[in-house]
Structures are given as C-alpha cells and as structure tokens.
Amino acid sequence: MNKHIEEVLNSQLKKEASSSQFYLAMASWAETNGLNGTAKFLYRHSDEERMHMLKLVKFINERGGKAIIPALEQPPVSFDSVLNVFELLLEHELGVTDSINNVVDICLKEKDYTTYNFMQWYVSEQLEEEALARTILDKLRMIGNDKGGLYLFDRDLENSAIQVENAAAGAAQ
C-alpha cells in the first residue's frame, strides 16, 4: 500500500473512531435526560461509526498496510439541548464528509483506484448521514420549545430504532 494513502486512511480511521465516541457521549447524555428514543438512535449511530472504523482497519491491513488504532480525545459530557446535539452532529458529519472527499482526492492523485473504489461506499454513506441529520434538525426546529412535540419526536426516534433493529434481526435469520 502506498504510504501516503496508508497515512490518510489511518487519519480517516481516527475520525470514524472519534465519531463513534462523540455519538456515544451524546447517547449517554440523552439517556440520562429522559430521552430514551434519542439515546437509542444515537447508540445505534455510534455503533455504525465503529463499523465504519472497522471497515477501514480491515481494508488497510488487507492491502498490506498497517491500521493504527488511535487514542481518542474525551468527547463532551453534556449538551445544551436535543437541538444542540443534532446541530453538533450535522457539523461533525460535514467535517467527516470533507475528510472523506480529501481521501478520495488523494486516491485519484496517487492513482490508487482500488482505494478510490473502496472509498465510494463512504461517499454514499455521508450523503445519507447528512440528509438524515438535516431532516432531524428540520423537525426539531419545527417543534421549537414545545415539550409535547419533543416527547413525540423522541418517541418517533425510539420507534424507528426498534424498526431498524427488527429489520436487522430478520435479515440475520
């Protein structure tokens, strides 16, 4: 594996691991604030980010590079509101998108088409992540300070998390 590509992939691996920890901190905050649906959504999101990291670990190692498992910084322990959580989530995802686009650009410059093709999955995934975060933010802004609306929003997130879990369990059988 090209050393420059290996370095940028390891950098991306750290971003995915940090994302997992960031969303885990958000989930814990939500859970301790009575937002069980939001917590379920964020726990699942944290798991997804960890899988994104593992996918990079395996790819780097399989290509003859060496995946470096990073030390991570402490994520925040509290947030101002659910709206703040999802604003930070979108901001974070936009940064991850920039990073992925940078990796793709370097792959093209280095003519590493195998890694370029591998990274296309991440490009598509980021489109979904950003769209989901924007949709959630739109709903939260519509709700505003309405506690009843927040209750229903949280319940909807919990129900969607349960549906995803049930679909995954059915697919595994």
Domain boundaries, the chain: 3-172
E strand or H helix at 94: helix 82-109
Confidence of residue 166 (pLDDT cuts 50, 70, 90): low
What local confidence, expressed as pLDDT, does residue 39 receive? 97
pLDDT by residue (tens digit) across 82-126?
999 999 999 999 999 999 999 999 999 999 999 999 999 999 999
Its sign, for the CA torsion 171, 35, 130, 97, is: negative
Confidence of residue 162 (pLDDT cuts 50, 70, 90): low
The tens digit of pLDDT for each residue in 39-66 reads 999 999 999 999 999 999 999 999 999 9
- Taking a C-beta distance cutoff of 8 angstroms, is the pair 44, 164 a contact? yes
Average model confidence (pLDDT) for the chain? 93
Question: What CATH number should be reported for the domain whose range is 3-172?
Answer: 1.20.1260.10
Amino acid letter, 60: I
Question: What is the pLDDT, as a whole number, of residue 108?
Answer: 97
Residues in the chain: 173
The answer on pLDDT for 167 being more than 90 is no
Note the pLDDT of residue 159: 82
Local structure of 71: helix, strand or coil: coil
Report the pLDDT value the prediction gives residue 96, as an integer from 0 to 100.
96
Mean pLDDT value of segment 117-136: 95
pLDDT in tens, 32-44: 999 999 999 999 9
List Cβ neighbours of 28 (8 Å cut-off, separation of 6 or more). 39, 77
Q: Which two tokens stand for residue 171?
A: 């697919």
Closest CA to 25 of 85, 66, 103: 85
Number of Cβ within a 10 Å radius of residue 72: 12
What is the four-CA torsion angle of 22, 127, 133, 138, rounded to 10 degrees?
160
Longest dimension (CA), the chain: 54
Cβ-based neighbours of 71, under 8 Å, separated by 6 or more: none
